[in-house]
Amino acid sequence: MKNAITMLTSVIDTICNSFIITTEDGGVIAIDGGYQQETDHFLAVLKELTGSEKPRIDAWFLTHPHDDHLNNFFNIMENRPDAVEVGRIYLNFPSKGFFEGTVGRDDSAAGTMEDFYRVLPLIADRVRILSGGDELTVGGARFRVLYSQDFEIKGCNNSSLVFRMDLGGGSALFTGDCGREAGEKILRLWGDSGLLDCEICQMAHHGQNGCGRSFYEAVKPEICLWPTPSWLWTNDGGKGPYKTLETRRWMEELGVRENLVNKDGDQRVEM
C-alpha cells in the first residue's frame, strides 16, 4: 500500500464525509463513512486499497454524531461485522442529554446518539476517548488532536474532533463539521504553534458554513479536500441558501493549488 488519503464519493450525491487512509507499512485508518447507503462502496474501496477480502481498519475516527458521518459505521458494526476487522475506535461525543438541552439543542444529533448507544455494546471494548492535545500513531501516520468538544460552544458540528495527520513527509488537517466558533477557539489555542499549517485540508462542514476565512488563512493549504455533492458545490445553481461559493472564493484568493471534490468521484492524494 501507499501513503495516501482516499476521499470517497457519495453514491447518492449527498453530503458524505468518508475517508480511508493507507500507509506504506500496512496501516489503515478510516474517518467517518457517510450514510448507510454508502456501505457497499466503502467496503469495495477498502478491499481494493488493501488487496484483502476481509480488510482490517486499525483505527476508525468518528468526528461527531450526525447521520451523514456515522450511519455507514453503524450499519457495518450491526449488519456487516464479518466484512471488516476493526481495531480501535476513536471519538469524543457529547451526551444525548446535551443535545436535548437548551444550549446544545439538536434533535438530529440526539437521534444519532440513540443509534450510537444501541451499537455501543458491540464496540465498547474498542472505543477510546480523545481530547485536545492527545497524540497517537497508526502505522506510519502520526495524529495530534487539536480540538474536542467544548460544552460552552453550542451545536453538534462544533463538537467535531479536529486533528492533524503527518504521513510520509506530508501533513493533513481533518476538521469534520467544525463550525466558526470552534474554529476560532482552535486558532486561539494553536494559531501560533505552526500545527495548523498543513499541505492538505479537509474543508469543514462540506465546504460551507463551517470554519471562517481566518482559520483557512492559518492552515495555508495547497490541496483542499471537499466532501461536497454536486448541488452543494454550486449552491443549487446559485439559488440556494448555502455558503459554498463564498468558501470557494476564499480558497481561490488564498492561492490553493488544487481543489479535489467528491462530487467528481473518489479522490486520492499520495503523501
Per-residue pLDDT tens over the stretch 207-217: 999 999 999 99
pLDDT band at 57 (very low <50, low <70, confident <90, very high): very high
For the segment 165-172, the average pLDDT, to the nearest whole number, is 98
**pLDDT at residue 50, rounded to an integer:** 98
Alpha-carbon gap, residue 217 to 222, rounded angstroms:
11
Name which of 2-6, 101-105, 221-225 the model is least confident about: 101-105
**pLDDT at residue 159, rounded to an integer:** 95
Q: Structurally, what CATH architecture does the domain formed by 4-270 represent?
A: 4-Layer Sandwich (3.60)
pLDDT at 101 over 80: no
**pLDDT at residue 106, rounded to an integer:** 79
pLDDT at 262 over 80: yes
pLDDT band at 102 (very low <50, low <70, confident <90, very high): low
CB 201 within 8 A of CB 225: yes
Which ranges of 191-243 does DSSP label H, i.e. alpha helix? 213-219, 230-233, 235-238
For the segment 51-72, the average pLDDT, to the nearest whole number, is 98
pLDDT at 104 over 80: no
**pLDDT at residue 224, rounded to an integer:** 99
Which ranges of 145-208 does DSSP label H, i.e. alpha helix? 180-190
pLDDT digits (tens, 9 = 90+) for 7-51: 999 999 999 999 999 999 999 999 999 999 999 999 999 999 999
The percent helix, strand, coil of the chain (3-state, each to 5) is 40, 25, 40
Going by C-alpha positions, the residue among 7, 15, 11, 8 that lies closest to residue 206 is 15
For the segment 196-220, the average pLDDT, to the nearest whole number, is 98
**pLDDT at residue 151, rounded to an integer:** 84
Strand stretches in the chain, DSSP E: 4-7, 18-22, 28-32, 56-61, 85-91, 127-129, 135-138, 141-147, 162-167, 170-174, 200-202, 223-226, 258-261, 267-270
pLDDT band at 95 (very low <50, low <70, confident <90, very high): confident
pLDDT at 100 over 90: no
**pLDDT at residue 107, rounded to an integer:** 82
